[in-house]
């Protein structure tokens, strides 16, 4: 079972890398495609759109074939999407490729979670699911910082080429180590749709959407916030992303066993802690040290609850959990899309957003130039760094 879980986690690692690495490369992607950082941020929403659309459609396919075969098909499509991202011409091509890469995201993670739960003892299902989803968290320790560094040195396309190779390795691992499992017996597609209508399933999915939009609103623009608000150098961004991943992994390690003992109290406690951390983050981002500390804490409380919530939805779906398990990741990516869009406008128009150092300081190092320019501004308007004038 251990090798099977590692193979499934490798697929999650590749998925987590491609989902999050673009957040650390937004300035490079924007420069390479000749668009603004805010417009490049729409590529995050493009991937999330693929997840939202692909999860239910591909999960419906998974009800007709064995779960191992479904996992291999999902990973193959994932590889195609990332290769297309590397070679796509222009912004529109990259946008379409990101949608394709996102299509198998939720379906794969949902099916992998079901396989992990099926292979594990019933009393350790949450821990097994957490081990698979830990691939997402480890991606933020290793994959995202390494991809960010590689993208900064060799160009942003290099990061997605490496992700495609990881996807191929995951295909080999799943083919070799995941046992052939029987076709799901849950009443077919109709049974899956009926399970989706259960009140507890709907409430769980709604929790994923609204509970995590704030996390993605912060994480989607973590790179420009660290450089423009916290005043950190670009070289520090991969380090902070790695520390964010450390927090995510620590949260998964702690929350998994807790959820096996008390599922609902673990979810309630994690969500309450998340609300507090997001409120504090608003103030902490203005200092380098506090920004780093809160990034670690946000990773721990924000993503530590994903496995318990996944297990809750799987259990409430009864004997037809395939569509519900995949849709949970659609819900997370609705939060991703909504959070990144909301943060995009907040990032562009936040009155307190600090200007670039060269814009703030005059020739003598003081703030004379900035104050002189400020006097010439029209009332009710402010200048956001890199985005011109906005109200």
Q: Could you report the per-residue pLDDT of 189-224, keeping only the tens digit for each?
A: 777 788 888 888 888 888 888 877 778 778 777 878
Is residue 30 a part of any domain in this protein?
yes
Could you give the number of structural domains in the chain?
1
Q: What local confidence, expressed as pLDDT, does residue 342 receive?
A: 53
Is residue 166 a part of any domain in this protein?
yes
**Which CATH number fits the domain that encloses residue 69?**
1.20.1250.20
Which segment of 100-104, 256-260, 332-336, 367-371 scores lowest on mean pLDDT? Answer: 367-371
Find how far residue 56's CA is from the centre of its chain. Answer: 18
Q: Tell me the average pLDDT of the chain.
A: 80
Is residue 390 a part of any domain in this protein?
no
Is residue 362 a part of any domain in this protein?
no
On the question of pLDDT at 101 being above 90, the answer is: yes
pLDDT tens across 358-391, in order?
A: 343 444 444 444 333 333 444 444 444 444 334 3
pLDDT tens across 223-254, in order?
A: 788 888 888 888 888 888 788 888 888 888 88
Q: Decide the pairing of beta strands 382-384 and 388-390.
A: antiparallel
pTM for the whole thing?
0.71
Rounded Cα distance, 99 and 81, in Å: 8
Confidence at 110, pLDDT banded by 50, 70, 90: confident
97 versus 352: which is more confidently predicted?
A: 97
On the question of pLDDT at 37 being above 50, the answer is: yes
Is residue 360 a part of any domain in this protein?
no
Three-state secondary-structure class, residue 321: coil
Rg of the Cα atoms in the chain? 21
- Contact yes or no for 201/316 (Cβ under 8 A): yes
Is residue 167 a part of any domain in this protein?
yes
Q: What is the DSSP letter of 389?
A: E
Residue ranges with strand state E in the chain: 382-384, 388-390
- The DSSP bridge partners found for residue 158 are none
- Contact yes or no for 95/50 (Cβ under 8 A): no
- Contact yes or no for 12/138 (Cβ under 8 A): no
Q: What local confidence, expressed as pLDDT, does residue 186 receive?
A: 57
Confidence at 102, pLDDT banded by 50, 70, 90: very high
Q: Which of 6, 79, 19, 71 is nearest to 216 (CA)?
A: 19
Q: What local confidence, expressed as pLDDT, does residue 353 receive?
A: 45
Is residue 357 a part of any domain in this protein?
no
On the question of pLDDT at 321 being above 70, the answer is: yes
Find how far residue 129's CA is from the centre of its chain. Answer: 17
On the question of pLDDT at 113 being above 50, the answer is: yes
Domain with 211 in it? 2-349
On the question of pLDDT at 187 being above 90, the answer is: no
Is residue 356 a part of any domain in this protein?
no
377 versus 188: which is more confidently predicted?
A: 188
Q: What local confidence, expressed as pLDDT, does residue 386 receive?
A: 42
Q: What is the mean pLDDT of residues 157-167?
A: 95
Q: What local confidence, expressed as pLDDT, does residue 163 receive?
A: 95
Percent of the chain with pLDDT over 70: 84
Q: What local confidence, expressed as pLDDT, does residue 79 receive?
A: 96
């Amino acid at each position: 079972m251990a090798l099977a879980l590692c193979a499934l986690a490798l697929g999650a690692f590749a998925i987590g890398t491609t989902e999050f690495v673009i957040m650390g490369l937004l300035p490079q992607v924007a420069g390479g495609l000749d668009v603004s950082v805010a417009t490049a941020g729409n590529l995050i929403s493009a991937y999330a759109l693929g997840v939202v659309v692909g999860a239910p459609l591909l999960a419906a396919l998974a009800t007709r074939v064995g779960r191992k075969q479904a996992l291999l098909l999902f990973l193959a499509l994932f590889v195609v999407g990332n290769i297309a991202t590397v070679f796509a011409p222009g912004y529109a091509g990259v946008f379409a490729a990101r949608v394709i890469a996102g299509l198998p995201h939720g379906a794969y993670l949902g099916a992998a979670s079901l396989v992990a739960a099926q292979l594990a003892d019933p009393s350790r299902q949450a821990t097994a699911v957490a081990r698979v989803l830990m691939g997402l968290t480890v991606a933020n320790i290793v994959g995202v910082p390494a991809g960010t560094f590689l993208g900064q040195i060799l160009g942003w396309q290099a990061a997605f080429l490496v992700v495609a190779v990881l996807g191929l390795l995951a295909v080999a691992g799943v083919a070799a180590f995941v046992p052939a499992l029987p076709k799901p017996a849950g009443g077919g597609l109709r049974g899956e749709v009926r399970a989706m209508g259960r009140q507890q399933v709907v409430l769980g999915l709604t929790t994923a959407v609204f509970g995590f939009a704030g996390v993605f609103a912060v994480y989607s623009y973590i790179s420009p916030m660290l450089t423009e608000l916290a005043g950190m150098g670009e070289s520090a961004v991969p380090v902070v992303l790695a520390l964010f991943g450390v927090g995510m992994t620590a949260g998964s390690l702690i929350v998994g066993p807790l959820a096996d003992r008390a599922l609902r109290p673990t979810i309630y406690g994690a969500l309450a802690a998340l609300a507090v951390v997001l409120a504090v983050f608003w103030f902490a981002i203005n200092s380098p040290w506090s920004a780093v500390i809160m990034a670690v804490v946000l990773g721990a409380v924000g993503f530590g609850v994903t496995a318990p919530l996944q297990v809750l939805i799987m259990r409430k779906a009864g004997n037809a959990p395939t569509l519900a398990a995949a849709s949970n990741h659609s819900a997370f990516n609705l939060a991703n899309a909504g959070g990144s869009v909301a943060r995009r406008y907040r990032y562009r128009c936040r009155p307190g957003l600090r200007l670039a150092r060269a814009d703030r300081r005059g020739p003598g190092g003081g703030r004379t130039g900035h104050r002189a320019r400020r006097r010439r501004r029209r009332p009710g308007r402010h200048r956001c760094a890199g985005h011109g004038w906005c109200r």
